[in-house]
Structure 1
């Protein structure tokens, strides 16, 4: 694993990995942007296309908003099903390889830690995460974006867990 991210003063990226990946980015100017990216395979896509699209998306974020200096992602230990586990594992492998190649530090944050920081409850439901993001002035489209915002705010406010 790359070195544990320190708390850089420039571009940091937070990700909620999945078929619909939520993302939140604090740019060099301090502004936070967020959204989702769909990594659902197309009808004629081979099995690896979602991971190639994710790699290209990461590279584009790095090019347009970066350089990305640290990445935090939701570290999931339990999945609802086998397919979700496979997708998460593939995306995590893609992310960590991408980061290793560029020397970008990355670290997973446990789900309970993110939920507790955002809502006060380590087992908060999806709607509570959306409500928490809205209470902080964001307008997440769904729980994936809300989770990414929560990860980014956790990283900023705890200096990556060091505060």
Structure 2
């Protein structure tokens, strides 16, 4: 069994991993720059954090992430694009396969409803025995659940 990493990309990123021994761990990570830091620092921290996750897991077999096509504002779209660029470049560098999963696919798999609310996804993950601290962690757990249950969409 290989390690799977699932990510809900953003300034507060949700993450969930199924380790090689089958244990599932999850949480959130904050990448907001400090008052006297440039906007690029969030991406440097993100890449460093990915290296930390990979080292702690002793390797990552596949990465899945929430594929967003619509954002509330321009800043959110730019930030998501920056995280996506860094994630995909990091995966290419490490020779780790990666795949985006559409939001509706994730929500439909988790709740049975493609336009489910954040609270519905949180409740669905709680019903699966997880205790997400917020919607970011719940989304990452939902992505991981989809990846495990569907073998990443490959059958």
Q: What range is the shorter-chain TM-score in?
A: over 0.9
**Aligned runs of 1:70-109 on 2, under 5 Å?**
70-109=62-101
Deviation at 1:47, TM superposition (A): 1.7
Within the candidate set 47, 54, 66, 2:39 is matched to 47
Within the candidate set 136, 140, 143, 1:148 is matched to 140
Q: Which runs of 5+ in 2 are unaligned?
A: none
Within the candidate set 19, 33, 45, 2:25 is matched to 33
For these two proteins, the number of residue pairs brought into alignment is 155
Q: Which runs of 5+ in 1 are unaligned?
A: 1-8
Structure-2-length-normalised TM-score: 0.99
Q: Which structure: greater helix fraction?
A: 2
- Counterpart of 1:61? 53
CA distance in 2, matches of 1:105, 1:45: 32
Deviation at 1:40, TM superposition (A): 0.7
What SS class does the counterpart of residue 6 from structure 2 fall into?
strand
CA distance in 2, matches of 1:26, 1:66: 12
Structure-1-length-normalised TM-score: 0.94
Q: RMSD across aligned C-alpha pairs, in angstroms? A: 0.6
- Counterpart of 1:11? 3
Provide Cα deviations, 1:39-81, integer angstroms capped at 9, x if missing partner.
Answer: 1111111121000000000000000113011000000000000
Return structure 1 stretches of 4+ with deviation > 2 angstroms. Answer: none
